[in-house]
Amino acid sequence: MFTEQPEDFIYNSSIGIHVVSAEGIIVYANECELEVLGYTKDEYIGHHVSEFQQDKCCLSDMMARLGRMEKLKNYPAKVQGKEELKYIIYNSSVYEENGEFKHTRCYGTEVIKTIYDAFFKHFDFSGSADKLLTDNKRLDN
């Protein structure tokens, strides 16, 4: 029998979880998310997601897909941690009410750069891959 409170289960999960409002504001992050990125709640929650996503083309693509209520599966992203750049693989979906986007449900796992590169190489960016590859090469230099 599962007796743990859902809030404790989510907050203490071993995978990073965060929620982003329709306006792009981070409204929730669990302990793992904060720990991986190295931020306190005050440094992360309440801030716009663009402050942390390093590849603006990927961020635009992610938000466009989520805006269309698509699910993101194994989406590679570069996220600025407090001390260093982090490579995160996201799985995300949208919580909606009556067809209205309310917030995201994002689950992220930190990976090493070689794993990130493999995901990035094989990810279908639906026509925006050339620009994304150019931007990522620029960011890596």
β-strand 100-111 against 72-80: which pairing, if any?
unpaired
Question: What would the mean pLDDT of 33-51 be, rounded to a whole number?
Answer: 98
Based on its alpha-carbon atoms, the radius of gyration of the chain, rounded to whole angstroms, reads: 15
Tell me the pLDDT band of 137, cut-offs 50, 70 and 90: very low
Do residues 21 and 103 make contact, with C-beta atoms less than 8 angstroms apart?
Answer: yes
Tell me the pLDDT band of 29, cut-offs 50, 70 and 90: very high
pLDDT, residue 126, reads 65
Give CA separation, 22 vs 30, 48, 59, 75, in Å.
19, 11, 14, 19
Question: What would the mean pLDDT of 87-112 be, rounded to a whole number?
Answer: 97
pLDDT, residue 79, reads 98
Q: Which domains does the chain have, with CATH numbers?
A: 6-140 (3.30.450.20)
Do residues 81 and 38 make contact, with C-beta atoms less than 8 angstroms apart?
Answer: yes
Q: Which residue has the higher pLDDT, 68 or 134?
A: 68
At residue 69, does pLDDT exceed 50? yes
Q: How many CB atoms lie within 10 A of CB 113?
A: 13
Q: What is the DSSP string of 9-57?
A: HHHT-SSEEEEEBTTSBEEEE-HHHHHHHT--HHHHTTSBGGGTBS-HH
Q: pTM of the entire structure?
A: 0.84
β-strand 16-20 against 72-80: which pairing, if any?
unpaired
